[in-house]
Amino acid sequence: MVWSLQAPTDFSESQFAQWSKLLEERTGIQLSTQQKTLLQSQVAIRMRELGYRDTNQYFDEVTNGLSGLMEWSVLVDRLTVKETSFFRHRPSLEYVRRFLQNRINNRQLHNSFDMWSVGCASGEEPYSLAMVANDCFELARLDPYYGITATDISHSALTQARRARYPQRKLEPLYPDEVQRYLTRTDDGQYEVIEKLRDRVCFSQGNITRIGHMPVIKMDVIFCQNLLVYFRRWLRRDILNAFADRLKPGGVLIIGLGEAVDWEHPSLRRVVGDEVQAYIRDERQKQ
């Protein structure tokens, strides 16, 4: 998670506790005391933009009425935008490739191959998944029959993701042939994801800590990396259990290495290996 560093107005311990509690209640994100400066920096920046001088007055603003909810949505965007990249953890994406190739080779694709990118930020992760899926379908000379749902809490990140344009530095993790096949250079020197990938990704705003309010759509792949670490252990467990319920029989859940070391689920088995933390749902489980 990236925080802009500006000279902050000092928070008292009680103010930090107050703001931390609000953030956790509304987003599930747990802040440590080491992040006090980072939190107050973002609050101070927004206060200066609006002309507030009193922190308590601004707190009252974001916790009251419809205008408060609108202001909170602006502030939370500043607090939750994560740094991401294409193929951020390539071993996990390559596992998805092998998983889909195996389905195709064994003629186990009877319906659309559906994936969910959780905490998609500015879109690099779901577009990476789309590249992998498209590779598999093209290799098998099949019409692409897949879809990706991409969710994030940040409206501004989703706006950027839908735009699908990235500076050249963002392309560094990609292989040259991936850049050539899946991005085009724009007049302003940026790179745009090609239309046939963009058409396969549906971006939607959602708070994963309120997963119970989200539609229960069964997925072949749920991809959630570098997100659970911000939540308390009990909340991680609840989210993971909800993910398990949203997997198709034989579907796979992929999370970041070490994000849930001791979690188990009766319907899932852990994939053996050190490079990827993945769980397969029992194929005998009914949908």
140-172 pLDDT, tens digit each: 999 999 999 999 988 889 999 999 999 999 999
The structure's pTM equals 0.83
pLDDT for the residue numbered 9: 57
Backbone CA torsion sign across 166, 168, 171, 176: positive
pLDDT-flagged residues of the chain (< 50) = 1-8, 287
Query: Within the chain, how many helices (H) and strands (E) appear?
Result: 10, 10
Q: Strand 277-281 vs strand 268-270: parallel, antiparallel, or unpaired?
A: antiparallel
pLDDT for the residue numbered 34: 66
Quick one: tokens of 17? 């506790």
pLDDT for the residue numbered 179: 97
pLDDT for the residue numbered 277: 95
CA distance 80 to 86: 19
Closest CA to 31 of 210, 256, 230: 230
pLDDT for the residue numbered 230: 79
Closest CA to 80 of 21, 170, 166, 152: 152
Q: Which helix (H) or strand (E) holds 48?
A: helix 36-50
